[in-house]
Each structure stands twice: as C-alpha cells, then as structure tokens.
Chains A and B, each alone.
Chain A
Amino acid sequence: MVVRTRVNGEWREADVWPGTSLLVFLREALGLYGSKNACEQGECGSCSVWLDGTLTCSCLVLAAQAHEREVRTVESLTRGDQLHPIQEAFLEAGAVQCGFCTPGFVVAVADLLEKDANPSPATVREALSGNLCRCTGYQKIVDAVHLAAARQRAGA
C-alpha cells in the first residue's frame, strides 16, 4: 500500500507491504537511518520518533497508521553539519560509547526538555526508562541531560 507521511516537514511517500512498521518505512523506504532497529518490541527505545508530536517507538507503529500524519525523527534535530545542543552535551559528557542507542536517547531527551526545562534527577531517569544503553551505565547520559538542560535554560 502507498503510505504518505509528512516526515521532518516534508511529504514523503512509498509503496510498502501493509504490515511494514514505521521504523522499517523510515529506514528502508525513505533512507532515514538515524532511528535504529534493535529490539523490534518497544523495549529499547533506539527507534524513538515523534508521531504527531508524541514520543513513540517507531517499531510499534504500523507505517499505515502514520499515513497522512506527521513524523519527526532524530534527523530533524541537526541543521546541516551543526549538532543539536543535546548532541553536543552527549559528546562532552562522554554519554556516547558504541553510539547505537544515542539517536533514541537524544530524541527522548529532546522530548523531555521540551516539556520540562529543569527536570529533577528522578524525572530524568523516569523519562529515559524506555531507552536502553549497554555501554555507559547511564550516569554519563544523565549528566549530559543536566548539562543540556542547564545550557537550554541559560539560552546558550
């Protein structure tokens, strides 16, 4: 079936098998490889995107469900070669090791900081509870969130 979706501000369409997930649609039909395919069961958060502004695991959305709707992916956060402040904070804090989980975390953190500019440590951990990282032990990711939040508040 033909699925037509507004992805990062641009209308895109592709003819896919009706059982295709939004994640596979984004990666394999549209060539947007930022959202990662890991668990395919909503467990790891590495495929996190926004569907109509709501943080979602794209592996648990049928591409057809996103038909005529709006999707934002991690690719929407960068401007050309310029990293998003959250991505900068991840690099500085040492929150990236193998990097596979990073796009999902960056999207989940962006979602959190849009809603709460000054999240408590407990809020950060709850907001990131749907994202798994097998390298860092999470502390540096949490540090990166607080760094990004502080900079966002300072208007940097």
Chain B
Amino acid sequence: MQVLLPHSLDEALAIKADHPEALPLNGGTDLMVELNFGRLRPAAIVDLNRVAELTAWREQDGHVFLGSGVTYTSIVREMQAYKPLVQASRSVGSPQIRNRGTVGGNLGTASPAGDALPVLAAYDAEVILQSRARGERSLPWNLFLTGPKKTAIAPDELIIGTSWRRLRGPGSFSKIGTRNAMVIAVAGLCLVIDEERRRVNVALGSVGPTILRATQAEERVAAALTTSGTWDDRSAPLNPQWVDEFAELVAQAAQPLDDVRGTAAYRRHGCRVLAKRAISWALSEWRLPTWL
C-alpha cells in the first residue's frame, strides 16, 4: 500500500491523474474503519488533510460554496445561517467524529444514511468535481448520488465541494435513532421552505437506496399554502388536514427496507412523524418576527 500526501489541490489532482486507483482519505471516519477491520486494502491512498483549498466555505452572488474538507465542527461553529445543515452536522457522531468528518466524505461514501446528504438534496445542491485532464464540472446532487454507496465520480476526479443557491425561508433537519449521539439514522428528513420560488423541499435519508425527494408531497403542500394564503400572509394557518396529507405523502415517498437498524414499516412511520413535525416547526418559525 502506498500513501500519498499532497500539499495542494494541483498536487492532489496530479496524483489522481497518475494513480486513479488511489482512494481519497480525509477525516477517516469511514475509510479507516474499513482499513482497521481488514475489509479494504487499497493499492494507494491519497490524503487530503493538507489540501487547504478544500477547507474553506464562502458566499458569493447569492450562492454558497462549501469545500469538501470542511469538518462538521466547523459547520456548526461558522455556518449558523444554514440551520438545517448545522442541525444535521451536530447530529453526526460525537465531538471526536465531527472534528474530523467532512461533507466531502459524506458525498464520497454516498451512504443513504449520510446526515448531510438530505440537507444538500433539499437545497438542490450541486456537487463540484475536478480532474487535471478535464478541469471542473458540476453535477446536481441526484445525478452525483447514483445508488447506495455509488456516485458518478470519475477515477481521476476529486470532490472539490458543493454549492447551492441561498434560500430564504425556515427549515430543519431531524433524524430518528436509538440515542442522541453516535447514531446512524434509521430515518432522516430535511425540509426547507423557499419563499422566493414558493416551494417546500423535502428530502429523506436512510429510507431508500439513496437520498429521496418527496416530490408529490412538496407540490401538494406548496399548493395548499397557496390555497390558505400563507405565501402572502404567514400568519394564515394551514388547514391541519393538509398537514396530515403532507405527512402521508412523505411517508409514501420512502422506499425503506428492513435491516438491523429498523423495519421498513417503522421507517415509513418515522418519515410520517418527522414530516409532520418539520412542516409544523417551519410554519411556526416562519411566523416569528425574525422572518418578517
């Protein structure tokens, strides 16, 4: 096994061009477990810890760019304006894990249980990839995540980061697990309201082969908010019947399986409960003076 230690993005991309088999390593919270248990013996590893270009995030022209090497601890500390992302980041592992784990790792591993992924899906984020030969390209999250632990990344590419349009509106991330720390989600949900486009985006984690958007639920609740006049007057209540129908449609969007963490039926029920809570939280948050 060969371990390569680039000090810049150019060096890292050159390594990936010459050694496309080299597995990228950043926080190690996924890859090191495979190594420690002898389940993986890659021919080469490229360590991205020293690639400073990947560890920054910035806002520009109404968009956000989040570098693939930004840790969950940094997100919690620095990105308070992105509440659902902060909530998801804070629910990852433990302090030790959040100090090392990165959003790039969640993307690269592409587990349906990656906590940051439903948030990126609800934001309609793009994943930015780069190679020495072809430069940069950007893929919508759903074209990047192609299946359980499968992505559209080419062997000579690295994940540079992710980018999304800044949304105005409330939202949240919540998940179900057996304790508050060190838990792999049984079900996870991110809901964001996009005031400008009058849309409600809902993404589900851990209840399908990859992250899912509850499109039908999104359309119906956005229409219901039009009927109730809530888009124009946030104090106008949404009929509770619409809340229930929304939660039911979200539950139907799940494609859960039975596994060691939970049954399919429990997961579907979990989605229903999370959906109901998330829309209720968002609507009450929306009525707060901070949003007026």
A55 touches B95 (CB 8 A): yes
- What per-residue 1/0 map shows which CB atoms of B28-48 lie under 8 Å from chain A? 110011011100010001010
Question: Is B216 located at the chain interface by the 8 A CB criterion?
Answer: no
Question: Is B96 located at the chain interface by the 8 A CB criterion?
Answer: yes
Closest Cβ of chain A to B4, distance in Å, is 9
Closest Cβ of chain B to A127, distance in Å, is 6
Interface 9-mer from A15-23, A90-98, A142-150: A15-23
B45 touches A18 (CB 8 A): yes
Bound Cα distance from A127 to B94, whole angstroms: 8
- The 10 A-B pairs of least Cβ separation, nearest first, read A130-B94, A129-B181, A40-B36, A64-B3, A18-B3, A60-B28, A60-B32, A41-B33, A130-B96, A18-B1
Question: A residues touching B (Cβ–Cβ < 8 Å)?
Answer: 1, 17-19, 21, 40-43, 45, 48, 54-57, 59-62, 64-65, 67, 108, 111, 126-127, 129-131
Bound Cα distance from A111 to B96, whole angstroms: 10
Bound Cα distance from A40 to B93, whole angstroms: 14
Bound Cα distance from A92 to B21, whole angstroms: 53
B25 touches A57 (CB 8 A): no
CB-nearest residue of chain B relative to A54?
B99
Residues on B with beta carbons closer than 8 Å to the beta carbon of A62: 3, 25, 28, 32, 35, 45, 47
Closest Cβ of chain B to A78, distance in Å, is 22
Residues on B with beta carbons closer than 8 Å to the beta carbon of A41: 33, 36-37
CB-nearest residue of chain A relative to B44?
A18
CB-nearest residue of chain A relative to B34?
A41
Residues on A with beta carbons closer than 8 Å to the beta carbon of B5: 64-65, 67
Contact of B94 among A45, A59, A61 (CB under 8 A): A45
Q: Which residues 124-155 of B sit at the A interface, judged by CB distance below 8 A?
A: none
A130 touches B93 (CB 8 A): yes
Which of A45, A56, A127, A129 is packed against the most chain B CB atoms within 10 Å? A129
Question: Is B49 located at the chain interface by the 8 A CB criterion?
Answer: yes
Residues on B with beta carbons closer than 8 Å to the beta carbon of A130: 93-97, 181-182
Residues on B with beta carbons closer than 8 Å to the beta carbon of A129: 94-95, 180-182
Question: Is B170 located at the chain interface by the 8 A CB criterion?
Answer: no
A57 touches B3 (CB 8 A): no
A21 touches B96 (CB 8 A): no
Residues on B with beta carbons closer than 8 Å to the beta carbon of A40: 33, 36-37
Known interface pairs A42-B93, A130-B93. Does A60 touch B33 (Cβ–Cβ under 8 Å)?
Answer: yes
Known interface pairs A17-B1, A18-B2, A40-B36. Does A56 touch B96 (Cβ–Cβ under 8 Å)?
Answer: yes
Question: Is B166 located at the chain interface by the 8 A CB criterion?
Answer: no
Question: Is B234 located at the chain interface by the 8 A CB criterion?
Answer: no
Bound Cα distance from A111 to B5, whole angstroms: 28
A-B contact pairs, 20 of them (CB 8 A): A1-B3, A18-B3, A19-B41, A40-B37, A42-B29, A54-B73, A54-B100, A55-B96, A56-B96, A57-B96, A57-B100, A60-B27, A60-B96, A108-B95, A108-B96, A126-B95, A129-B95, A130-B93, A130-B96, A130-B182
